[in-house]
Structure 1
């Protein structure tokens, strides 16, 4: 999660404390909207135990690809 918080802080130009609040808010929102199995993958990814080539990381890559990001 710290890596995501640092990235948000840098890109948004806000403090790490503010970025952590933002990341937690977005994660909670996403988990509320997702099926239980997917919600646990958000937690796993943010805790650093998620695999970037599968699960939520893989999905993020696929979604990015849909919008032209490679």
Structure 2
């Protein structure tokens, strides 16, 4: 989607549904994800959909480090 296409555009292109139907599909999926994901990740969904993945990437890296430490993996010192 780096070419500037939105998720709605991609759904329309792949399925042939109307813009309204594609937007409804996105809204349902986004709502579902926000309900099911942990709050720190769910809070980043709108940013990811806008193309701002920097904050989410930082949280994922922090989670990997934490989980690695908890599970006895390599720790960054």
Bin the TM-score by the shorter chain: 0.5 to 0.7
Structure 2, unmatched stretches of 5+, are 59-77
Q: Report the TM-score when normalising by structure 1.
A: 0.64
Runs of 4+ that moved beyond 4 A: none
CA distance in 1, matches of 2:14, 2:24: 15
Deviations 1:3-61 (A, max 9, x none): 1110011111101111011001101001100111110121111133234x936xxxxxx
Q: Report the TM-score when normalising by structure 2.
A: 0.59
Structure whose alpha-carbon radius of gyration is higher: 2
Higher relative contact order (CA closer than 8 Å, sequence separation 6+): 1
Structure 1, unmatched stretches of 5+, are 56-70
Give the number of the structure whose residues are more often helix, by fraction. Answer: 1
- 1:33 lines up with 2:32 in the alignment: no
What is the number of equivalent residue pairs in this alignment?
A: 53
- 1:11 lines up with 2:17 in the alignment: no
User: How much is the aligned-residue C-alpha RMSD, in angstroms?
Assistant: 2.0
